[in-house]
A = this chain, B = another copy of it.
Amino acid sequence: MTESMVHTVAVVGTGVIGRSWAQLFARKGCETRLYDRDPEQLAKAVSWIDEDLEHRTVEGEFAADVVAAMRSRISLHDSLHLAVQGADYVQESGPEQLEVKQALYRELDMAAAPAAILASSTSALDMTAIAEGLEGAGRCIVAHPTNPPHVIPVVEILPGKGTTDDVLRQTCTFMKRIGQTPVVLSEYVPGFLLNRMQAALIREAMSLVQRGVADVDAIDAVIRDGLGLRWALMGPFGVGDTNADGGVRDYFTGYRDAYLALMDDLGETPGIDDEFVEHLGVKTDLMQGGAPRAEVLAWRDRMVEKIRRLKAEDPNPGRE
């Protein structure tokens, strides 16, 4: 397989993640073949894609003929074998159970063309285990998106022990071509990078609520009107680099002792019992103000796309 050869993509499993991938692939010009073993799921995915594209047309993001072209690139298949035939890249978003995935990859490895990449959306499993004993283990890789991938660009890329360097490189190239940000992990850790850092922040957030230091809305305000405004632009190392005159070295030397003391003082893993979850529910309902959840979700996705456009128009002067 040579550069930029991915033209036809198969989306296997069309739940919330799979359908979002499908929309992204079709938007970026790929022939997109959809399969789900549950025909109802497949029908729901197509309705969602149609609604979303319709909405983007109404909003003026795409002209009607552009949307028609995107839509024409999407085809539905009621057989896994037919769906992956001719695909250069398979994005699998099936159930998160090792045995189910292993069986699925045996099927995929037989059905897909020998040069096709088999990528999994798994957020939890190790490709080394999924592809164990598989003849085509070299072409299997984890490409874990952030929900939803048609809105949020980060994709965590994790090769298994058998994955070839070429497949790793091609997967990253393809992801960049469709506007995603591939991020490579060199070894498997539970939760990968994103969910680990999210869990670290949530652990402290929950601990502060349980200790009674601050309530749900205060915690969230500190993120949405504080840390999150910087983190939408730079990660913790980039932020540190701009937070001291001498850059990141100066920052982590000057605040070394303060950070070490604070890190040692952070809360332990809190209990998350039903009573606490209900407390979070009541306070979050108050904070969110009772708008229908779908409306808040649509707002979030719309706003993320607007922030991405701001960044595309006015990129970090160092990196772009």
- Listed in ascending order, the chain A residues whose CB lies under 8 Å from chain B are 124, 146-147, 152-154, 156, 181, 183-187, 189-191, 193-205, 208, 211-214, 216, 218-238, 240-243, 245, 247-249, 252-253, 256, 258-266, 269-270, 272, 274, 277-278, 280-281, 283-285, 287-291, 293, 295-297, 299-300, 302-304, 306-308, 310-311, 314, 316-320
Give the CA-CA distance A294 to B281 in the complex, in Å.
43
A247 touches B281 (CB 8 A): yes
Give the CA-CA distance A310 to B205 in the complex, in Å.
26
B213, B228, B247: the one contacting A284 at CB < 8 Å is B247
Can you list 23 A-B pairs with a CB-CB distance of less than 8 A? Answer: A152-B225, A183-B214, A183-B222, A191-B262, A194-B222, A197-B201, A197-B205, A205-B235, A220-B234, A220-B235, A224-B233, A228-B230, A233-B303, A237-B287, A240-B280, A249-B281, A259-B272, A260-B269, A260-B272, A263-B270, A291-B316, A296-B317, A299-B314
B266 touches A196 (CB 8 A): yes
Interface residue SS majority, chain A = helix
Q: Which of A234, A304, A308 has the most CB of B within 10 A?
A: A234
B226, B237, B306, B311: the one contacting A220 at CB < 8 Å is B237
A293 touches B185 (CB 8 A): no
CB distance from A155 to the nearest CB of B (A): 9
